[in-house]
Amino acid sequence: MKYFEQEKLEIIRSKISDIKNPNILELGVQKGNSTLMFLDICNKNDGYLTSIDIKDCSSVSKDKRWKFIFSSDDNFEYINQHLANKKFDILFIDSYHEPSHVRKIFYHYFYYLKKNALIFIDDVMWLPFVENGVEDNDFIERINRLTFNKLLEIFNNNVENLTLDINFNGSGLAILKKIGDKLNKETEIKNRLFSIKNLIKKFIYSPKPKN
Ligand SMILES: C[S@@+](CC[C@H](N)C(=O)[O-])C[C@H]1O[C@@H](n2cnc3c(N)ncnc32)[C@H](O)[C@@H]1O
């Protein structure tokens, strides 16, 4: 899984390496793997990185192109004072991997993004975590499934405002682009797989295709 974490950072790097003067917002620093990758891009392309973490990660770098905000990323009142009227080209969401938290910060920071900004959301895939999967983990399976479904609901009601691609490797990476100015509220996507009609088709009456 570690291999895929590095691979995901390389995918992000390849998507942003041509952006001149990138203004990047990162949620979740920890030991700084993604932070250092973003700072490398900022130094090459004359950009600036702002990162937020609920833990003090200020020792990760002394780079002049970096501002660290020591706060929960949903302490909006406090963070707004630091961000003022800034608009970002890139948003990386890798903080508290809980579906309603991801939804809350996605809707909030969307309005801090420029048109055509790229949004990367880490850990949206559950396949490695299913029962008997390579990383069998009930809790992560559940939250990643719920985060993935939430993203589909948001995308489904915003096809004029967002594009969405998913990289399925490891714990998954969602790659979105802001193409519209506003975000509509998400709504539940109805699933007909378990409708009475389809259950009857599956278990009682399942005609074979004609030759
Ligand atoms: C998965 S790690 C980030 C890894 C980092 N992006 C990297 O690639 O190396 C998650 C980080 O999010 C932070 N975090 C958790 N909840 C948070 C919150 N509500 N606001 C800001 N940061 C949070 C944790 O302290 C932790 O450092």
Q: Provide the CATH number for the domain around residue 19.
A: 3.40.50.150
Identity of the residue numbered 121: I
- Domain presence at residue 155: yes
Q: Determine the Cα–Cα distance for residues 148 and 158; give it in Å rounded to an integer.
A: 15
- Domain presence at residue 78: yes
Residue 3's pLDDT is what?
A: 63
Q: What is the pTM of this model?
A: 0.94
Q: What is the pLDDT of residues 144-202, one digit of tens each?
A: 999 999 999 999 999 999 999 999 999 999 999 999 999 999 999 998 988 888 888 88
Residue 201's pLDDT is what?
A: 81
- Domain presence at residue 65: yes
Q: How far is the CA of 207 from the centre of ligand 1 (A)?
A: 52
- Domain presence at residue 208: no
Confidence of residue 19 (pLDDT cuts 50, 70, 90): very high
- Give the mean pLDDT of 38-59: 98
- Domain presence at residue 88: yes
The CB of 72 under 6 Å from ligand 1? The reply is yes
Q: Domain range spanning residue 31?
A: 2-203
Q: Are strands 48-53 and 66-70 parallel, antiparallel or unpaired?
A: parallel
* Model confidence at 208: pLDDT above 90: no
Q: Determine the Cα–Cα distance for residues 38 and 160; give it in Å rounded to an integer.
A: 29
- Domain presence at residue 56: yes
Q: How far is the CA of 58 from the centre of ligand 1 (A)?
A: 13
Ligand 1 pocket, mutate which of 53, 76, 100 (most atoms under 8 A from CB) = 53
Q: How far is the CA of 206 from the centre of ligand 1 (A)?
A: 49
- Domain presence at residue 210: no
Q: How far is the CA of 131 from the centre of ligand 1 (A)?
A: 26
Angle at 80 (CA atoms; ends 78, 83), nearest 5 degrees: 120
Query: Which residue's alpha carbon is nearest to atom 9 within ligand 1?
Result: 33
- Domain presence at residue 211: no
How many domains are contained in the chain?
1
The CB of 158 under 6 Å from ligand 1? The reply is no
* Model confidence at 211: pLDDT above 80: no
* Model confidence at 68: pLDDT above 70: yes
